[in-house]
Amino acid sequence: MLTESAPHYRQPLLKTPFHERAREWSQLDSFVPWSGYSTVDVFTSVEQEYFAIRNASSLYDLTPMVKYRICGTDALRFLNRLVTRDLSKLGPGKVAYVVWCDDAGQLIDDGTVFCIGAQEYRLCTGERQLDWLRASAIGFAVEIQEITEDIAALAVQGPTSCALLLRAGLTGIERLRPFEHGEFTLTRAGREPMSLMVSRTGFTGDLGYELWLRPADAEPVWDVLLEEGSPRAVRPVGSRALNMARIEAGFLLPNVDFISAAHTLYVGTERSPLELGLGWLVDFGKGHFTGRRALLAEQERGPRRQLVGLDVDGNKPAHNALLYSDRSARREVGSVSSATWSPTCKRNLALAMVEAAYVSVGSTVWAEIYLNRELTWQRRVVRARVVERPFFAPARRRSTPPALY
Amino acid sequence: MSAAAAYDCVVVGGGHNGLVCATYLARAGRSVLVLEAAPSLGGAAITREFAPGFRVSACAHLLHLMPPALMRELQLERHGLAWAAREVGTLALDPSGSPLHLAQGTLTELSSGAPAPDSAAFQEWRALLRRFTAALHPVLNQTPPRLGTGAWRDRGALLSLALRIRRLGRTDLRELLRIGGICIHDVLEERFASPLLKGALALDAVLGTNYGPRSPGTVLSLLYRSAAGAGAERLALPRGGMGSLTQALAEAARAAGVRLRTDATVERILVHEDRVQAVTLAGGETVRARAVISSADPKTTLLQLLGSEHLDAGFTRRVAQLRTRGLAGKLHLALDGLPVFRGVPASCLRDRLLLAPSADYIERAYNHTKYREYSAAPMMEVTVPSVADPSLAPSGQHVLSAIVQYLPYEVEGGWEEQRPRLLQTLLSTLAAYAPDLPQRVRAAELLAPPDIEREFRIGGGHWHHAELALDQFFLVRPVPGATQYRAPVAGLYLCGAGCHPGGGVMGLAGRNAAREVLREAA
């Protein structure tokens, strides 16, 4: 049996369990919609928040991540047929980054799968997927339940995040390895012990954790973390600062770097995992999964274009830039989907989709950038080199136990 | 896995399509094994005893769709097919006792033999149908082209269809475009006056479908039936019932070298590296095969025997959404003598009798099915095959076989409770035309759609396996992604009624599928 929560489209934007606290910290009152929730875009300034992520720790409310509980005797078979990756070795306590495709091998969405137990998994994803999950469940003994509203989620990311969580009372958190999750108890004098799930996952490419809580525990946990953290430059961050960090980490953002094949209207605007540089997530040897035959055919043909990381000359972000084969800017060979100046790398970064001939590291393309200088528009065509992704990958993101800064 | 035997082709199901397909494959030199779950071959075209001494065609009861060319190619008469009647006419019965007779393209009052008032309009309608069906008939022998592939084979097939339709000429083409998607009721209203005639013609448009005469698309289902059968008047009764047709098909298969096994239920189709490898039977036996061709319905084949884990999710959903529930049942009566139908001489009882005195009568009967009910005045297509074929009943006694429509698959109260009540309803409906019939009944058998599903192993109990309607027709039958008799898994084929051109005892799905199997190297 499949179940679903109350229809979200009947409701105004929901407030996350952190909303009241977020409002207290917000100087700009800048809230944006995300999956039916109201969330913070910027609290104070993008740069200040970005440096909290890279130099201290940040709190980011990711409650709107859509969460599904998937359980039943066929839960693993179901998931392995749904996603392109082999999950058969994903044991309890482990997390995997996954993508799933439609029949034509085009990306529908990405997300993370948490193995809770032998027959229970949690799928976290940016957009609602119940319809596709139901279609995928035909013939499988599996129960799918949306639990988005039952769980509050808070990302704690940055070099001091482990130290912060230890100070806050999450004993044992230092032993959690990347892509592991576990149950922890937050004990603090004067407060009821709170049990929560913590995973060592994140969207910043840095040392960091994600906390999965009962909504009732959201405010106490926030309070404890900022009690300990604010004297140490810890602060809540909005989605714009996070976006800079995720570009540095080379992560894709749905609806920015790709449009879900479930939503595209124009033919040819959908993207396959091979085109998005996610071929390492596609396991042709694990047995059948949705889109396998189409992806196999695409692999044999070779993808026509691919997502690459670019290092762009100058310091002006190449937002939405068209890319050309040479400086004369006559032949288009691709376009930029995400761009930022990286304060940490001191490089001008971009993620771009380029033709197959330009995908290898070291290739050069030319980006057409428009600059607005006090209402005077200028056009620049600058060199951009294809470079390795991620652009920023500090060793601390993997070290266990992490250093206690 | 123990390899008991290896074949080029294993055909799942020994109904007429399975046997036809197997025969063509064997004639092309393939080693072929047919696996039939039932104790005997024939699928839904079988003759069996339903009361001591009384035998009947247990599902399909008239032969009119199988093309003569196919029967000649398979040499069915040499393999034992004989006829009890070749030109079975149609009587549209009227409760007041003045039936209309439709035969060889003529419409007469049965009582006087004089042309009926609608006779000229009837001839004109018949001629129009003949022109349409001449244009559409070649499509039935064809593998449906795929859309948007750019392959020359697909483009050529679409182009030739377009040309054939264009050749109808402006007037007929306009009429085809006008009526092709609408309901038969509106077209009959335009052309005819007699409610009795309109009932008879509407019956042929809706028989075996989930539609009433006012449902859109019922002109299409009539065109389909006409194209396949070249006109509803060319009905035939094989001697010994429909079972003797499939026996002849089985003989033709044997003669071609096909191995036939009964009591062999295929439980799973095994796949290795995205290619079929074998089938497993109830009892655990495994039979290896390079190709598996299933005449079972698409849902059973793809979702049960193969399993959705071998299919993409979008394709699986399309298969799961196929409309496969039948709305027709079957009534079999053992009679101790020939009943007297009002206004019908005994010699005319070899014809098919229609209990559908008007299109509105049919529409009313249909209405109930939307609410899990059946009508107190159901529509029936009645035959008394023992008139032309005395071998079916003890001497002097008779068998009545009727298709009963509309019976919902799920009925309020359940069929166990409703079956005896429906039987009484049917007997009193028949008594309105043949008052002495109820007292002649020695034994009765009534099959509702779930009974047809069980006995003939058709998921949903629909005799076309999947509803024949515009959204499940020709280019998109059974579902996009399996329209060329090929399933997405290499080496797996479909050859049953769920494929183009559909069901009824026609055999073309089997023949077309064999051609596609043979396109791949042995």
Contacts of A105 in chain B (CB under 8 A): none
- Beta strands A58-61 and A235-236, pairing class: parallel
Picking from A132, A135, A139, the nearest residue to B309 by CB comes out as A139
- The pLDDT value recorded for residue B165 is 87
Q: CA A76, A77, A80 angle in degrees (round to 5)?
A: 85
Task: Give the 3-state secondary structure of B251-294.
Answer: HHHHHHCCEEECCCCEEEEEEECCEEEEEEECCCCEEEEEEEEE
Which residue of B lies nearest to A82 if distances are taken between CA atoms? B313
Query: Phi/psi at A59 (nearest 5 deg)?
Result: -110, 130
DSSP code string of A350-390: EEEEEEGGG-STT-EEEEEEEEEETTEEEEEEEEEEEE-S-
Q: Taking all residues of chain B, what is their mean pLDDT, rounded to a whole number?
A: 94
Q: Report, as an integer, the average pLDDT of A47-69.
A: 97
CB-neighbour burial class of residue A376 (10 A; exposed 0-12, middle 13-18, buried 19+): exposed
Which residue of A lies nearest to B303 if distances are taken between CA atoms? A139
Contacts of B311 in chain A (CB under 8 A): 288
pLDDT more than 70, % of chain B: 98
Coil/strand/helix, residue A9: helix
Domain boundaries, chain A: 8-63+151-237, 304-387
Is A293 in contact with B312 (Cβ distance < 8 A)? yes
Fill in the amino acid letter for B112.
Answer: S
Shortest Cα distance, chain B CAs vs residue A332, angstroms: 27
Contacts of B314 in chain A (CB under 8 A): 102-103, 135, 290
Shortest Cα distance, chain A CAs vs residue B23, angstroms: 32
- Model confidence pLDDT, tens digit, residues B175-212: 999 999 999 999 999 999 999 999 999 999 999 999 99
Whether B230 shows a pLDDT value over 70: the answer reads no
- The pLDDT value recorded for residue A23 is 96
Cα B349 to Cα B369: distance, rounded to the nearest angstrom: 30
Whether B232 shows a pLDDT value over 60: the answer reads no
Shortest Cα distance, chain B CAs vs residue A289, angstroms: 7
Picking from A77, A135, A291, the nearest residue to B316 by CB comes out as A135
Is residue A82 within 8 Å of A290, Cβ to Cβ? yes
Shortest Cα distance, chain B CAs vs residue A108, angstroms: 12
Shortest Cα distance, chain A CAs vs residue B482, angstroms: 13
Distances (CA, A) of A218 to A154, A155, B149, B232: 8, 12, 54, 73
* pLDDT band with cut points at 50, 70 and 90 for residue A5: low
> Nearest-CA neighbor of A142 among A226, A51, A69?
A69
The contact set of A with B (CB < 8 A) is 77, 81-82, 102-103, 132, 135-136, 138-140, 287-288, 290-293
Contacts of B482 in chain A (CB under 8 A): none
Whether A385 shows a pLDDT value over 50: the answer reads yes
Whether B231 shows a pLDDT value over 50: the answer reads no
DSSP code string of B45-68: S-EEEEETTEEEESS---B-SS-H
Test the B interface: residue of A109, A130, A284, A288 with most B CBs within 10 Å: A288
Test the A interface: residue of B302, B309, B318, B321 with most A CBs within 10 Å: B309
**Bridge-partner residues for A183, per DSSP?**
A197
Is B312 in contact with A291 (Cβ distance < 8 A)? yes
Is A77 in contact with B309 (Cβ distance < 8 A)? yes
Is A290 in contact with B308 (Cβ distance < 8 A)? no
> How many Cα atoms are found within 13 Å in the side-chain-facing hemisphere of A62?
26
Query: Does residue B466 belong to the interface with chain A, where contact is any CB pair within 8 Å?
Result: no
Query: Does residue B317 belong to the interface with chain A, where contact is any CB pair within 8 Å?
Result: yes
Which residue of A lies nearest to B304 if distances are taken between CA atoms? A139
* pLDDT band with cut points at 50, 70 and 90 for residue B88: very high
Q: Taking all residues of chain A, what is their mean pLDDT, rounded to a whole number?
A: 95
Fill in the amino acid letter for B145.
Answer: P
Whether B130 shows a pLDDT value over 60: the answer reads yes
Query: Does residue B255 belong to the interface with chain A, where contact is any CB pair within 8 Å?
Result: no
Tokens 């993409």, residue located: B312
- Model confidence pLDDT, tens digit, residues B277-292: 999 999 999 999 999 9
Whether B2 shows a pLDDT value over 70: the answer reads no
Cα end-to-end distance, chain B, whole Å: 23
Test the B interface: residue of A81, A84, A286 with most B CBs within 10 Å: A81
> Nearest-CA neighbor of B126 among B226, B194, B235?
B226
> Nearest-CA neighbor of A142 among A167, A119, A109?
A119
Kindly state the DSSP code that residue B301 receives in the 8-state scheme. Answer: I
Shortest Cα distance, chain B CAs vs residue A301, angstroms: 17
Which residue of A lies nearest to B308 if distances are taken between CA atoms? A139
Whether A1 shows a pLDDT value over 60: the answer reads no
| Domain B6-45+65-81+241-323+458-519 in CATH 3.50.50.60 | yes
Shortest Cα distance, chain A CAs vs residue B299, angstroms: 11
Cα A103 to Cα B191: distance, rounded to the nearest angstrom: 48
Q: Report, as an integer, the average pLDDT of A273-289.
A: 97
Say what angle helices B359-367 and B184-191 make with each other, to 10 degrees: 160
- The pLDDT value recorded for residue A190 is 80
- The pLDDT value recorded for residue B1 is 43
Tokens 């192993």, residue located: B457
Cα end-to-end distance, chain A, whole Å: 49
Lowest mean pLDDT among A126-135, B48-57, B219-228: B219-228
- The pLDDT value recorded for residue A393 is 95
Q: Report, as an integer, the average pLDDT of B355-374.
A: 97
Query: Does residue B277 belong to the interface with chain A, where contact is any CB pair within 8 Å?
Result: no
Tokens 């690459």, residue located: A308
**Bridge-partner residues for A122, per DSSP?**
A69, A114
Is B314 in contact with A290 (Cβ distance < 8 A)? yes
A35/A362: higher pLDDT: A362
- The pLDDT value recorded for residue B426 is 98
Query: Does residue B315 belong to the interface with chain A, where contact is any CB pair within 8 Å?
Result: yes
Contacts of B312 in chain A (CB under 8 A): 102-103, 290-293
Q: Report, as an integer, the average pLDDT of A371-381.
A: 94
- Beta strands A30-34 and B352-355, pairing class: unpaired
Whether A278 shows a pLDDT value over 50: the answer reads yes
Cα A41 to Cα B489: distance, rounded to the nearest angstrom: 48
**Bridge-partner residues for B331, per DSSP?**
B402, B446
> Nearest-CA neighbor of A279 among A103, A127, A108, A99?
A99
Coil/strand/helix, residue B96: coil
Task: Give the 3-state secondary structure of A183-213.
Answer: EEEEEECCEEEEEEEEECCCCCCCCEEEEEE
Element (H, E) at A129: none
Is A139 in contact with B312 (Cβ distance < 8 A)? no
Query: Does residue B314 belong to the interface with chain A, where contact is any CB pair within 8 Å?
Result: yes
Test the A interface: residue of B302, B308, B315 with most A CBs within 10 Å: B308
Written as six digits, the tokens of B74 are: 């398979």
Is B315 in contact with A77 (Cβ distance < 8 A)? no
Whether A383 shows a pLDDT value over 70: the answer reads yes
Is A293 in contact with B308 (Cβ distance < 8 A)? no
Whether B219 shows a pLDDT value over 80: the answer reads yes
A and B: number of Cβ contacts within 8 A: 48
Is B309 in contact with A132 (Cβ distance < 8 A)? no
Tokens 């006559």, residue located: A330
Shortest Cα distance, chain A CAs vs residue B313, angstroms: 5
Give exposure, A385-398, as e/b (b: 16+ Cβ within 10 Å). Answer: ebeebbbbeeebbe
Would the pTM count as exceeding 0.90? yes
Lowest mean pLDDT among A60-69, A209-218, A319-328, B138-147: B138-147
- The pLDDT value recorded for residue B522 is 57
Test the B interface: residue of A283, A290, A295 with most B CBs within 10 Å: A290
**Superfamily, domain A304-387:** Aminomethyltransferase beta-barrel domains (2.40.30.110)
Is B481 in contact with A103 (Cβ distance < 8 A)? yes
Distances (CA, A) of B146 to B315, B469, B501, B519: 16, 18, 15, 16
Q: Report, as an integer, the average pLDDT of B344-370.
A: 96
- Beta strands A376-387 and A305-312, pairing class: antiparallel
CATH class of A8-63+151-237: alpha beta
Peptide bond into B501 cis (omega under 30): yes
Which residue of B lies nearest to A290 if distances are taken between CA atoms? B312
Query: Does residue B390 belong to the interface with chain A, where contact is any CB pair within 8 Å?
Result: no
Is A139 in contact with B313 (Cβ distance < 8 A)? no
Picking from A103, A132, A288, the nearest residue to B309 by CB comes out as A288
Contacts of A293 in chain B (CB under 8 A): 274, 312, 488
Contacts of B313 in chain A (CB under 8 A): 81-82, 102-103, 132, 135-136, 138, 290
Coil/strand/helix, residue B506: coil
Domain boundaries, chain B: 6-45+65-81+241-323+458-519
Query: Does residue B83 belong to the interface with chain A, where contact is any CB pair within 8 Å?
Result: no
| Residue A355: count of CB within 10 angstroms of its CB | 17
Q: Could you tell me how many helices (H) and strands (E) chain A has, helices first?
A: 8, 20
Give exposure, A291-321, as e/b (b: 16+ Cβ within 10 Å). Answer: bbbbbeebeeeebebbbbbbbbbeebbbeeb
Cα B59 to Cα B41: distance, rounded to the nearest angstrom: 14
Whether B159 shows a pLDDT value over 60: the answer reads yes
- The pLDDT value recorded for residue A2 is 40
- Beta strands B441-447 and B328-335, pairing class: antiparallel
Q: Who's near A268: CB < 8 A, 6+ residues apart?
A: none
Q: Who's near B65: CB < 8 A, 6+ residues apart?
A: B225, B228, B229, B504, B505, B506
Written as six digits, the tokens of B229 are: 């059968």
Longest dimension (CA), chain B: 71
